[in-house]
Structure formats: structure tokens, C-alpha cells
Structure 1
Amino acid sequence: MAVLKPFRGYHYSQRLIEKGHIGELVAPPYDVISRRKKELLARNPQNIVHVILGKDDSGYQNAAKLFRNWLAKEVIERDSLPAFYVYEQEFTVPRSGEKKVRTGFITLVRIEEFEKRIILPHEKTMPKYSQDRLELLRATEANLEQIFGIFNESTMEVDSLLEENKKRENLLMEFVDFDGVLHRIFRISDTRVIDRIRRLLNPRTIILADGHHRYETSLMYRQEVREKLGDPPGDLPADYVMMTLVNLKNPGLLVLPTHRLIHGLPVERIKDFFKRCEEYFVVHLFEGEESMELFLEQAPPNTIGVYDKVEGTWGCITLRDRRIMDEKLGKEDVNRYLDTSVLHKLVFEEILGIDEETQKKNLYIDYLRGTKDVFQIANEENEYQLVFVMKPTPLEDVERAVHAFQRMPQKSTYFYPKVWSGLIMRLLEEE
């Protein structure tokens, strides 16, 4: 089902890697780069951020020219043999301090329409981001960032093969990012190992963990290319996209919550917030954030922490009865009991009057990833009216959603750490 292919990856030149400069040249995915981080990354004129976020009056044409210039000057070079690339990340879990190692591998994956149920999405997307990535792909004709996918292989044989090939002679690069995550890339060019991994994953499906917009972009781009060429038989470069794949059973696979912060609503919509929640929720109020956080850690399912900054009140809301969600979303909706579904439907739509279309436009809602201190943000940022403290979505809920071919609300999951951009790249025109 899932068709994988090794490739001759592009990466920053060996001389730059050997000088220890690689950490100054690569970047997180485009959608998690804040303005401040972009400024820091952009201090190096050869950092990949100048391309992936290089939109100007030309669109991405100037960014594409810059990338081609790096290729011409051998700032970026190509490997001599097709390979899979082991991608290892060592990290500390935010807040808990637990040490983990997540291992996957970078490969090309044949693009499939979602209807075939080979590549499976799990979250709703926002179309404007897909269009932006399509502009970049058209201009560069390159995969500069990896889509992050997960597969379920309970024997762990793929993981064992990856571990066996974490040899010093296979090490291509390593660096520590500004969040303290250690990244290592190893090459696997042994055709026997590559073929074994391909056979193990061929009957399996891939869940999109991160990069839904980039995958939708690849679908659109493939269609454009095939229409332009008259839909020829056989594979084209545009039929494949670069992914990092990680086993669902890998002990380093971690999902963190994404908190929600409300701003700009008319004050009358916020007034008496906790009182209005009582229609659907059991409400617990607290003296401060510490007691609220302690309660939230041991709270029953469908409990969400809330800071009403307008009235200076901390509390938790717990869904009174799951039959409420049966009625609101229908029993056929497998995501109806998710905390994010409860929040978006009952709180955002019913209580605050932020309908689904407005939610898609992000007019009143900001999202805060679980690596950041939501309590600090709640206390320090004056623009926010309500802060919703979320629990992480369990991986089994992700599997349930994709197998039912239903999408969770946007930003229901935050897989940590992110797979970085510019480590391994791929030019579509040269295959």
C-alpha cells in the first residue's frame, strides 16, 4: 500500500557540516517560526529560513533564485547514492524533565489521494496555508521540509534496523537546537536494508502527524504537473514527497497539548463566563493557577482548565454528560468526546458565539503549543481574555479518527519535537 523510495538527498556541504555550522543553517518548520526566531535564524545569510519564509513582492521567485545560487556555489550538495536517512532526536519532555529519544527515517513516499486510505489525515486544515506552500513548491521545485508521518509496526523490526544503522561511519550531521534538542542524521545506502524496510512498510498505512498543509500542497502540485504533461504513464518526481516516518510504537513518540487563547471578543460575550458554562459543565473554581493545575492533573475526562482574565478567575470545566456531545455532533462522529471537540463546539460556538467558519479564520483564537508555559502567558499577556489549558490528545484517539476517516478539530495534536527543515532536501526536477 505505502510505496517508499530511497533518494539522493541534498544537504548543506560537508565542509560546512565539518566546521560545525549546520545548526546555524537549518530551521524549524515554517509554521512554528515566530517573528523573533525568524530574526535570529536570518542572521546567517545562508539559513534555509531565507527560502521557506522568503516571500516578497516576487512571491517566492527571489527565494528560489537564492536557493539555486546556493546549489551553484556548492553551499548545498547532493549525495552520490540513493539512501534512507535515519533521523534521531534526543530531548527533554517539557515540564516533566523526562529524557526521551525518538528515531525515524527520511524517505520519499508516493503521494496518494486521501480517499485511497493509504495516507491518512487526522486534523482539519486551513486552506490559506496550503496555498502559500504551493507557491513555494512551484517556485523552487523542491522539498525543503519534511512531512511527519507515523506508521504502526508492532514487531519493531523497522526500528531495530534503524538502530543497527546508527553507526559512526553513517553519521552525516548532528547539532543541538535552541530548545536543547539534539538532532542526528545517519545515511543508510545499503540496498538490502533499504529493501527490507520497504517490504515491511509496503502493506501499511501512514498517518499524517504533522504537515497536513504541505501534503495537500503536494497533491495539488502533482495534479498540476500531470495535467501539464498529459498524465503520462509511470512515475513522475511529482508523484512522491519527502517524509520523516516514525513508528507509533517508538518510545520517543510524544504528543503535547495545544492550548487556546481568546482575544478581541466583545466584552458582553465574556461576561459571567463560568456561570454560562454550567448549562453543559460542572464548574470548579480555584484561588489561583497552582490549585487549578493540581486539579487538572487528576481530573476526570473532558476537563479543561480556564483562566478568565477579564474577571481574574481560575477554574476547570468538566462535561456534565457525554450524551450532550452525542446530540450536538451525532453518534457517528468518533471525535465527539475529544477535549478539543467539546471546547470548539460547546464553548467556542455555543457559549462564546465563535462559529466554525470564524474559527477557521483564527479571528479570535490563538494557539499556544505545549512547550511554552501557558500560565506565564496567561499572567503576562494583557491582550487575552480567556485562556484554555488543554490536556494532550491520546495517540489511540488519533488512530480511531483516521481509521474512521474523520478529522479532528485543527491543532488537536502537537507532536514534539518538530522535524527540522533544511537537514535533507530534494529537487524534483533531477530524478
Structure 2
Amino acid sequence: MADVQPFRGLRYSKSLVKDLSKVICPPYDIISPAFHEELHKRSEYNFIRLEDAKTFPQDTPTDNKYTRAAETLQKWLTDHVLIPERKPAIYIHDHYFQHQEKGQRRRGILARVRLEEWEKGIIRPHEGILGPARDDRLSLLWALQVNTSPVLAMYQDRRNQLAAVLDSQDKLKPVIDTLLPEGDRHVLRATTDNDMVEKISKHFDELPLYIADGHHRYTSALTYRREQAAMNPSFSLEAAANFVLMSLVSFTDPGLVILAPHRLIRGIERSVIETLETRLDEFFEITRLSIGTKDFWQKIDRLMKQPGSIRFASLITNTDHVSVLTLKEHSIDGQTMPLFHSELYRKLDVSIIDHIILEKILGLGIGGSDETKISYSYDREDALSRVLKGEYQVAFFLKPVKPELIKAVADANDKMPRKSTYFYPKAPAGLVINKLTD
């Protein structure tokens, strides 16, 4: 099924860029304005200049973030700041990070993967996308003709057979081993041995891939490929634009961490907020826990993890308790949940919140202008604090989604609501670039 191939990646020259910790950056979609500025100051070669160049009020169609990124890329190639790998390689990327005060390692395979249209079911999404982010990445593809950051995708590794193959490559000397100022460490090994590359690629011959993070990047790459093919009569199946850079991670990798995007709501009429608990009682059994109770979060976790029912928690402004909400059996029907979705979708915590609470009770339009009233936090203490401070009116606390549930939704040819998952940490930009020109 999935066609996973080696490629001649572009990487920073170690002779010109001696400290890679100053040039690696996160992907474009999680960089705050302040951190954006800091990355520019770290190094004249920081990858942010390609991944998400600065914008200015005076930008024009011929002088903008995309044209400036293209000029930067061309200069770095001319000056040999970026140099190609001598031989095609599949890269093994070990990302070391801290989560819940414990050291973790997520192992990914960086390779180029053949683009497949969604309907083939070879590459499977689990979330929908928004137009602006897709258009931004498409504009960058046309300007640079490279993949700057990878799409994160998951794969099955029954009996950890591929894991054993990857472990055998630990003996290779890393081509990158750098510790970032934020504390994450990145170790990259380039596997160029033909037999080993074939073993890795062959593992995916009968397997689909499941996009974890990077739906916009993948969709943009599909559009770019279509547009290139339409413009070029000699466009071949092996043209570089037929492929996209991916980081492939096993479903069972111990470092595959998924955080819950807790919902934060504001801009709701006071009368609606004042009657919210009464309305919630129509659909949910409510268990209240006073804020500040001993072992507060542990008690909430125990309640939310009880099997057999859909449970999540909420905090409403000007109250002194968090409510654990357990869905009543009669609550899911054609009036509350969309029938065109799978049964699995209709029983997701996040689907219940989006359709029953946000849409039906609070009257918010999901995906439209009301999106400005919804924010997300991946730290429940932070979400709690924002409501207590009065920044938001309501918080909804979710459980993290398990990888096997993501797979099941995708296998059902369905998609979860937007912002259902947050894969932590994000795969970085700047370790290796995939060229889209031959």
C-alpha cells in the first residue's frame, strides 16, 4: 500500500552551521509571535526563515513572506549552507523530551512517501482542515518547491518487527545530535545501506498510513502535485512532486504522546451561562467536586476513566466546583448528533461536546465565525486558571484520545472533530528537507 522511499535530503552544513540547536525550529502552526521573534534572533540561519518567514504591512504579491523565503533558500543553497546527502537515505529520528516529569523518546522514520488521493484509503486522515492554513502551505510549496517540515503519520508494527530493524541501526553514527534550548534533544541517523532501506520500505507494502499531525501539509502537497501535473505534459509517476516528507511513528511507540485539547469558551450571553448547568442536566448525570479538594484531579480522573459511559468534566464561571458529566443513554439521537457520521464518531467525547453542548445548548456554530469564541489549552491547570480568572466563561476537560481510537475512526472512513488531538511534541522543522524538483 504505502510507498515509502529513501531520498537525498538537504541538511545544514556542519562546517558553516556549527551549532544546530540555534537553527532547528518548531513547525509553523505552534509558534507564538514572541517565539517567532526569538527564533530569528538565535541565528541568521534559523529555519524559521524558510518554515514561516516574517510578514510586513507593506507586503505585496511580489514581495512577501513566500518570496523572501524563496530568496533565502536560494542563497543558502548557493552558499552551501544547505547541502544534499551524498546517497539516498531513510532517516531514523529519535526525539527525546520530557512529559509529566518523565523522560520520553519518540522514534520516527523520516522518508519520502508517495502521495495518494484520500479515496484510495492508503493515506488516512483523522481530522478535517481549514482553508487558510492549507493555502498558506500551498503558497510556500510553490515558492520553495521543498517540504520544510514533515507530516507526522502512524503505522502498525505487529510484534514490533520493524522496531527490531530500526534498533539494529543504533550502531550508526548520528549525522545530527543536538540539544535545543527548550530541552528537547534530536538524534538523526541516515540509513543508506540498500538492504536495510529495502527492509524498512518493504514493511509498508501492505499497510496504510494514518496522519497524526500535518493534515494541512498533506492536503497542500496533494494540490501542488495536481497543479504540477496539469502544467507539465511530461509529468511522470516518479516526479519528485509525487512525494511528501513524512515522519512515521509506530502506533505502539512508547513516546507517542497525545494530549487532550480542552475547550475554553467565552462570548456567551450571561443568561445562557446562568442556565447552563440546568441544561446540562437534561443530557448528563452530574457529579460535582469542589475546587481545592484533596487529590482533586486524581478524583476527577477516576470518575472520568470509569468504563462503560462517555464522561468528561466542565467548569462554569462563578462556580466553586468542577462537574464530571456522564452522558445519559437517551441523549444520542438524530436531533443531537449528525446521522451522516459513523456510530464511533457519535460516541466520541469531543463529538458530544461539540454537537450537544457547543451547538445545541450554547448555540455556537462549529467551524464558522463562532470559532473565535472557542480556544484550546493542552494543560488542564491552565484551562482551570483561565476560567477562575474570568478570561473564559466555561472550560470542558477531555481525556486524551488513544491511538487505536484514531485508527478506528479513520478505518471507518470518518473524521474526528477539529482539535480532537494534540500530538506532543510536534515534529521539528529543519532536520532535513525534501526537494520537490528532480
Trace 1:23-172 onto structure 2 (pairs within 5 A).
23-43=21-41, 44-54=43-53, 56=55, 57=59, 58-59=63-64, 60-94=66-100, 97-169=101-173, 171-172=174-175
Q: 79-88 or 315-324, which moves further after superposition?
A: 315-324
1:404, distance to aligned residue in structure 2 (A):
0.5
In 2: Cα distance, 1:72 partner to 1:232 partner: 27
In 1: Cα distance, 2:327 partner to 2:255 partner: 35
Trace 1:391-410 onto structure 2 (pairs within 5 A).
391-410=399-418
Trace 1:258-273 onto structure 2 (pairs within 5 A).
258-273=261-276
The one-character-per-residue Cα deviations of 1:184-223 (angstroms, maximum 9, x if unpaired) are 1111011110011111111110000000000000011000
Please point out which of 329, 333, 338 is paired with 2:338: 329
Aligned alpha-carbon RMSD (Å): 2.0
Q: 99-108 or 364-373, which moves further after superposition?
A: 364-373
Paired residue secondary structure (2:372): coil
Is 1:415 the counterpart of 2:423 in the alignment? yes
1:233, distance to aligned residue in structure 2 (A):
4.1
Q: 1:122 to 1:138 in 2, by over 3 A?
A: same
In 2: Cα distance, 1:175 partner to 1:264 partner: 44
Q: 300-309 or 200-209, which moves further after superposition?
A: 300-309
8 A Cα contact 2:342 2:414, kept in partner: no
In 2: Cα distance, 1:321 partner to 1:84 partner: 50
2:325 paired residue number: 318
Q: 1:74 to 1:289 in 2, by over 3 A?
A: farther
The one-character-per-residue Cα deviations of 1:309-332 (angstroms, maximum 9, x if unpaired) are 2x2443224233244224423384
Is 1:355 the counterpart of 2:365 in the alignment? yes
The one-character-per-residue Cα deviations of 1:42-81 (angstroms, maximum 9, x if unpaired) are 2122211122221531341112111211111122111111
Paired residue secondary structure (2:346): coil
Q: 1:428 to 1:208 in 2, by over 3 A?
A: same
Q: 1:254 to 1:386 in 2, by over 3 A?
A: same
1:376, distance to aligned residue in structure 2 (A):
4.0
Q: 328-337 or 342-351, which moves further after superposition?
A: 328-337
Contiguous gaps of at least 5 residues in structure 2 = none
Is 1:346 the counterpart of 2:356 in the alignment? yes
Q: 1:192 to 1:349 in 2, by over 3 A?
A: same
Paired residue secondary structure (1:347): helix
In 2: Cα distance, 1:131 partner to 1:372 partner: 34
8 A Cα contact 1:338 1:393, kept in partner: no
Q: 1:155 to 1:320 in 2, by over 3 A?
A: closer
8 A Cα contact 1:303 1:316, kept in partner: no
Q: 1:242 to 1:304 in 2, by over 3 A?
A: same
In 1: Cα distance, 2:150 partner to 2:327 partner: 41
Q: 1:187 to 1:226 in 2, by over 3 A?
A: same
Paired residue secondary structure (1:109): strand
1:168, distance to aligned residue in structure 2 (A):
4.8
2:14 paired residue number: 14
Q: 1:221 to 1:323 in 2, by over 3 A?
A: farther
In 1: Cα distance, 2:323 partner to 2:186 partner: 38
In 1: Cα distance, 2:249 partner to 2:33 partner: 29
In 2: Cα distance, 1:182 partner to 1:322 partner: 47
Paired residue secondary structure (2:426): coil
1:178, distance to aligned residue in structure 2 (A):
4.3
Trace 1:195-206 onto structure 2 (pairs within 5 A).
195-206=198-209
Q: 211-220 or 329-338, which moves further after superposition?
A: 329-338
Paired residue secondary structure (1:335): helix
In 2: Cα distance, 1:267 partner to 1:42 partner: 43
Q: 1:419 to 1:268 in 2, by over 3 A?
A: same
8 A Cα contact 2:300 2:324, kept in partner: no
Task: Among all aligned residue pairs of Structure 1 and Structure 2, give the percentage whose two residues are the same amino acid.
Answer: 28
In 2: Cα distance, 1:285 partner to 1:28 partner: 39
1:292, distance to aligned residue in structure 2 (A):
4.9
In 1: Cα distance, 2:175 partner to 2:232 partner: 37
Q: 1:385 to 1:136 in 2, by over 3 A?
A: same
Count, aligned residues: 422
Q: 1:245 to 1:400 in 2, by over 3 A?
A: same
In 1: Cα distance, 2:276 partner to 2:99 partner: 33
Contiguous gaps of at least 5 residues in structure 1 = none
Paired residue secondary structure (1:207): strand
Paired residue secondary structure (1:87): strand
The one-character-per-residue Cα deviations of 1:147-175 (angstroms, maximum 9, x if unpaired) are 00011021322211211112252x01122
What is the TM-score with the length of structure 2 in the denominator? 0.91
In 1: Cα distance, 2:292 partner to 2:30 partner: 27
